[in-house]
């Protein structure tokens, strides 16, 4: 969408000036010969933004030699931001919830083939929200506003959808996993897909995955 390009064009100017690489949803991989790559989703929730729904954000992670080391997510409508460095505890924490019963869960919207798994989660949790912005929803897990976020098997996520959560959720005491245990990689090939699971604790993540897989 045009809104994605507006944000991305400004970042392209910066990465060329600073001679770092870029991996982005729109531009793909821009190689400046650096060991540092900025992995971004210029506007996560771009459909929300385009229609005036105030649920969209910028998400960017600094990746050094294939490892995400720093992340920033900024909620456009409110200006709230979540910053984290790998291995450094944050000022915000997850809820610490360990069970799905009583949990508040953000879910990817139901898609073909995921309806049964979606309902199993919905029927087990206490509250369900569908906000249509993974990067923002995973930050809500990190700060303890909700207990978990999960894509129940649609393999929708590309790496820029999950890059900031890879740093921020663990720094806040939670976990980020793939539904099928696949490792997250920062390859330029954007055909790689995942079903991300962000949870307040490993125990909650394991129960969510078990519930989806039946």
Q: How confident is the model over 94-148, as pLDDT tens digits?
A: 999 999 999 999 999 999 999 999 999 999 999 999 999 999 999 999 999 999 9
3-state secondary structure of 71: strand
Contact 75, 57 (CB under 8 A): yes
Other Cβ atoms closer than 10 A to 52: 7
Residue 6 reports pLDDT greater than 90: no
Residue 197 reports pLDDT greater than 70: yes
Q: How confident is the model over 160-178, as pLDDT tens digits?
A: 999 999 999 999 999 999 9
How much is the mean pLDDT over the chain? 94
pLDDT confidence of residue 3: 65
Mean pLDDT of 167-190: 96
Burial of 65 (0-12, 13-18, 19+ CB in 10 A): exposed
Domains of the chain: 2-85 (3.30.540.10), 104-213 (3.40.190.80)
In 3D space, the residue among 173, 145, 135 whose CA is nearest the CA of residue 40 turns out to be 135
pLDDT confidence of residue 1: 63
Q: Which residues make Cβ contacts (< 8 Å) with residue 43, sequence separation at least 6?
A: 1, 3, 4, 7, 49, 56, 57, 58, 76
Structural element, H or E, at residue 70: strand 67-75
Q: Which residues make Cβ contacts (< 8 Å) with residue 213, sequence separation at least 6?
A: 117, 179
Q: How far apart are CA 173 and CA 107, in angstroms?
A: 20
pTM: 0.93
Q: How confident is the model over 68-87, as pLDDT tens digits?
A: 999 999 999 999 999 999 99
């Amino acid at each position: 969408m045009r809104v994605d390009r507006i944000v991305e064009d400004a970042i392209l100017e910066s990465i060329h000036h600073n001679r770092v690489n870029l991996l982005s949803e729109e531009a793909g991989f821009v190689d400046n010969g650096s060991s540092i790559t900025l992995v971004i989703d210029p506007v996560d929730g771009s459909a929300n933004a385009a229609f005036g729904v105030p649920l969209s954000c910028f998400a960017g992670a600094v990746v050094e030699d294939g490892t995400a080391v720093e992340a920033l997510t900024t909620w456009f409508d409110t200006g709230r931001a979540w910053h984290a460095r790998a291995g450094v505890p944050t000022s915000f924490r997850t809820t610490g919830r360990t069970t799905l019963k009583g949990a508040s869960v953000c879910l990817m919207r139901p898609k073909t083939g995921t309806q049964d798994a979606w309902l199993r989660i919905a029927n087990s949790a206490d509250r369900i929200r569908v906000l249509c912005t993974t990067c923002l929803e995973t930050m809500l897990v990190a700060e303890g506003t909700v207990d978990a976020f999960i894509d129940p098997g649609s393999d929708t996520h590309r790496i820029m959808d999950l890059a900031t959560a890879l740093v921020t959720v663990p720094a806040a005491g939670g976990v980020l996993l793939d539904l099928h245990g696949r490792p997250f990689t920062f390859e330029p090939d954007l055909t790689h897909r995942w079903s991300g699971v962000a949870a307040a604790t490993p125990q909650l993540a394991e129960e969510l995955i078990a519930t989806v897989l039946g």
